[in-house]
């Protein structure tokens, strides 16, 4: 009898696992950073839409997102098909008012953004953004109906010192706001030393960190199994398949390779 229960239990587990895998499409997210003219941004958006149209099967497993510079968002949106979502690379921690140079989460929502990248290591480094500030930005992004892509990752020195989980654990604990859910939050694990350098973490290192992140999320968030964890750091078509094969990698945040339609879509078709 116990044997029958055990088999039934295993069948339910396997069924649940397949359902989860089936439901979670990868998110292929392009961070265009501070690159390009208006006409180059429009051409890039057109190229991405055309590449998807030429291989529409790619939509079976992948959702696409592009995050242009602020002032390119509206013209780029006019070029995008429903298959590609739109996001920004940052937002203000404030709702409205006298904050020169800021763009609010409400303004992003108003121009049909669905996502905002927060706490990218370039912002943490060059603008000294703290976990506290990132948490405030994420909270206001959520309040305005945006999905926050919260970036975490260790520096090379921190990895060499064996501190990577401690660093990422602290970033997660302090950057995730109260109301974070599997629906309104995406985590991007981006080892700082792998961004724009051509170096990628080994698949073992990616597996260990993504597994660690999943564990931290489970302790904090309901249905954390369905929260996407992206890997970022020199992802390109030639290394995408092995990265996507790693457990708990649910997509990629892509910088350099997102600026060429064939590479951006090539990353999705490779994996
Ligand atoms: C990034 O900036 O988020 C990034 C991952 O850049 P790249 O793909 O160029 O390493």
Residue 237: what pLDDT?
Answer: 97
Q: Is 232 in the pocket of ligand 1 (CB under 6 A)?
A: yes
Q: How many domains does the chain have?
A: 1
Alpha-carbon span 58 to 188, nearest angstrom: 22
Does some domain include residue 150?
Answer: yes
Q: Is 120 a catalytic residue?
A: yes
Does some domain include residue 179?
Answer: yes
Does some domain include residue 86?
Answer: yes
Does some domain include residue 14?
Answer: no
Q: Is 234 in the pocket of ligand 1 (CB under 6 A)?
A: yes
Does some domain include residue 51?
Answer: yes
- Considering Cα of 112, then 190, then 62, then 238, what sign does the dihedral take? positive
Secondary element (H or E) of residue 241: helix 237-244
Residue 18: what pLDDT?
Answer: 47
CB 257, CB 236: distance < 8 Å: yes
Does some domain include residue 148?
Answer: yes
Q: Is 119 in the pocket of ligand 1 (CB under 6 A)?
A: no
Residue 199: what pLDDT?
Answer: 87
Residue-range definition of the domain harbouring residue 124: 25-270
- Catalytic entry in 142, 154, 190, 210: 190
Nearest to 145 by CA among 224, 85, 233, 73: 85
Alpha-carbon span 123 to 172, nearest angstrom: 16
Nearest to 252 by CA among 226, 236, 231, 227: 231
Does some domain include residue 15?
Answer: no
Residue 19: what pLDDT?
Answer: 47
Place of tokens 């694990």: 189
Nearest to 89 by CA among 100, 101, 73, 106: 73
Positions in the chain short of pLDDT 70: 1-23
Q: Which atom of ligand 1 is nearest to the CA of 197?
A: 10
32: how many CB neighbours lie within 10 A of its CB?
Answer: 21
Q: Which atom of ligand 1 is nearest to the CA of 258?
A: 8
CB 137, CB 95: distance < 8 Å: no
Q: Which atom of ligand 1 is nearest to the CA of 120?
A: 3
Residue 10: what pLDDT?
Answer: 54
% of the chain surpassing 90 pLDDT: 87
- What DSSP assignment string belongs to 113-151? --EEEES-HHHHHHS---HHHHHHHHHHHHHTTPEEEEE
Nearest Cα residue to atom 8 of ligand 1? 255
Does some domain include residue 122?
Answer: yes
Q: What is the pLDDT of residues 229-243, one digit of tens each?
A: 999 999 999 999 999
Distances (CA, A) of 170 to 8, 21, 164, 174, 226: 40, 28, 10, 6, 22
Structure tokens given for 57: 């099967």
Q: What is the pLDDT of residues 36-77, one digit of tens each?
A: 999 999 999 999 999 999 998 999 999 999 999 999 999 999
- Catalytic entry in 120, 142, 164, 210: 120
Q: Which atom of ligand 1 is nearest to the CA of 252?
A: 5
Residue 61: what pLDDT?
Answer: 95
What's the CA-to-centroid distance between 271 and ligand 1, angstroms? 18
The predicted model scores a pTM of 0.92
What's the CA-to-centroid distance between 153 and ligand 1, angstroms? 12
Q: What CATH number corresponds to the domain at position 170?
A: 3.20.20.70
In whole angstroms, how large is the CA radius of gyration of the chain?
A: 19
Q: Is 80 in the pocket of ligand 1 (CB under 6 A)?
A: no
């Amino acid at each position: 009898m116990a044997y029958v229960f055990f088999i039934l239990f295993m069948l339910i587990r396997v069924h649940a696992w397949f359902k989860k895998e089936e439901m979670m499409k990868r998110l292929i997210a392009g961070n265009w950073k501070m690159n390009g003219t208006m006409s180059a941004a429009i051409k890039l958006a057109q190229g991405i839409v055309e590449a998807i149209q030429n291989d529409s099967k790619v939509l079976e497993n992948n959702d696409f997102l592009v995050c242009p510079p602020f002032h390119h968002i509206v013209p780029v949106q006019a070029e995008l098909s429903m298959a590609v979502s739109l996001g920004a690379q940052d937002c203000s921690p404030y709702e409205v008012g006298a904050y020169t140079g800021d763009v609010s989460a409400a303004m992003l929502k108003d121009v049909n953004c669905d996502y905002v990248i927060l706490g990218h290591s370039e912002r943490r480094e060059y603008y000294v953004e703290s976990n506290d500030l990132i948490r405030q930005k994420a909270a206001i992004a959520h309040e305005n109906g945006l999905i926050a892509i919260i970036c975490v990752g260790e520096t090379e020195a921190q990895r060499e010192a064996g501190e990577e989980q401690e660093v990422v654990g602290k970033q997660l604990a302090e950057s995730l706001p109260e109301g974070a859910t599997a629906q309104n939050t995406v985590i991007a694990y981006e080892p700082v030393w792998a961004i724009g350098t051509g170096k990628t973490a080994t698949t073992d290192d990616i597996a260990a960190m993504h597994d660690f992140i999943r564990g931290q999320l489970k302790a904090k968030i309901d249905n954390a199994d369905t929260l996407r964890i992206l890997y970022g750091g020199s992802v390109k078509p030639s290394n995408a398949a092995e990265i996507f094969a790693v457990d708990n990698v649910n997509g990629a945040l892509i910088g350099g390779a997102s600026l060429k339609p064939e590479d951006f879509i090539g990353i999705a078709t490779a994996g």
